Amino acid sequence: MKNLTFENGDRMPIIGLGTWKSEPGQVKQAVYWAIESGYRHLDCAAVYQNEKEVGEGIAQAINEGLVEREELFVTSKLWNNSHKYEDVKPALEKTLSDLGLDYVDLYLIHWPISFKRGIGFAKTRDEFYTYLDVPLTQTWEGMQHLKSLGLAKHIGVSNFNQAKLREVMNIGGQKPEMNQVEMHPYLPQKALVQFCRENGILMTAYSPLGSPDSRNESHKNDPVLLKDPVIELIAKKHGASIGQVLIAWSVARDIAVIPKSTNQGRIKENLAAAKLKLDQNDLMELDDIGVDFRFINGKFFTGPESPYKLSDLFG
The answer to whether residue 48 is catalytic is yes
pLDDT digit string, tens, across residues 122-138: 999 999 999 999 999 99
pLDDT digit string, tens, across residues 44-85: 999 999 999 999 999 999 999 999 999 999 999 999 999 999
CATH, domain range 10-314: 3.20.20.100
Give residue 22's pLDDT band: very low, low, confident or very high (50, 70, 90): confident
Catalytic-labelled residue, pool 48, 186, 206, 308 = 48
- The per-residue pLDDT for 274 is 97
Residue 219 annotated as binding? no
pTM of this prediction exceeds 0.95 = yes
Cα–chain center distance at 280: 27
Give residue 184's pLDDT band: very low, low, confident or very high (50, 70, 90): very high
**Residue 217 predicted with pLDDT over 90:** no
Q: Which residues have C-beta within 8 Å of that of residue 175, sequence separation ≥ 6?
A: 168, 169, 199, 200, 201
Question: Of 273, 256, 261, which is closest to residue 205 (Cα–Cα)?
Answer: 256
Q: What are phi and psi of 204, to 5 degrees?
A: -125, 135
The span from the CA of 245 to the CA of 231, in Å, is 7
Output the CA–CA distances (angstroms, integers) from residue 90 to 58, 84, 118, 120, 144, in the order listed. Answer: 22, 11, 12, 16, 14
For residues 92-106, give the mean pLDDT: 98
Query: In this structure, are strands 178-182 and 104-109 parallel, antiparallel, or unpaired?
Result: unpaired
Give residue 218's pLDDT band: very low, low, confident or very high (50, 70, 90): low
Q: Mean pLDDT score of the chain, rounded to an integer?
A: 96
Q: Which residues have C-beta within 8 Å of that of residue 76, sequence separation ≥ 6?
A: 44, 45, 46, 51, 92, 95, 99, 104, 106, 107, 108
